[in-house]
Amino acid sequence: MERGPGCTAAKGLSGNYLVIEPDMGGETVKKWLSISSIRERAKLISLGTFKDPSELYLDNPELFKDRFTPALNAATPWTDLESTLREKETKEAFTQCRDIASSTSILDLFAQEIERLGVSGESQLAKLLFLIMVSRYLKRPVSSAVKGPSAGGKSYLVECLLRFSHLPLSICLPVFLNIPLPMTKKICHTGCL
């Protein structure tokens, strides 16, 4: 069996090595890897401006092993990259929500925002529904039903509340507005909301 130029350099390696291209292809691989079952074993190889090992080899076959071996040895475990990205995202998120995070009453800030959206006289209910909505992150989420007279503003309150959710309205509204399940599927598949 004939061996290619990179085979001797790769002898004794363990794990899954992936070349990360220096363009959108590399970003696509990272996105895929973030949900892949191999991510814990993956190591990322950067070849600088070269798209892949073939391009590196074609650039100068005599120097291929001398350039590819250090790239393999410098491969970054996905877990390290993921940790760095998570830390960066956390810092960016905190910078964006510093005022909220350092507030003594986040619910009062929420009530002010709800009133700014045109909901008046319902701050207690809005706060309660907000806490119920946030409970989806807990082991045992809480559920609720909003009942009241026709044209009392129930739907508008729920719609305003959902603006503070990070879920798409096409998923939230059918559930929160009690649309029957067959209609929910139709709405989600057609993207009508």
Is 119 in contact with 126 (CB distance < 8 Å)?
Answer: yes
Higher pLDDT, 185 or 138: 138
Higher pLDDT, 141 or 191: 141
pLDDT tens for 16-33 read 888 989 888 888 888 888
Is 129 in contact with 157 (CB distance < 8 Å)?
Answer: yes
pLDDT tens for 125-184 read 889 988 888 888 889 988 888 787 777 777 888 888 888 876 655 555 545 455 454 444
Is 158 in contact with 129 (CB distance < 8 Å)?
Answer: yes
Q: Give the number of residues written for the chain.
A: 193
Among 14, 19, 73, CA closest to 46: 19
Token pair for residue 45?
A: 């190889």
What type of residue sits at position 46? S
Higher pLDDT, 128 or 189: 128
- The pTM assigned to this predicted structure is 0.48
Other beta carbons within 10 Å of 187: 16
Instruction: Tokens 């080899």: give the residue.
Output: 57
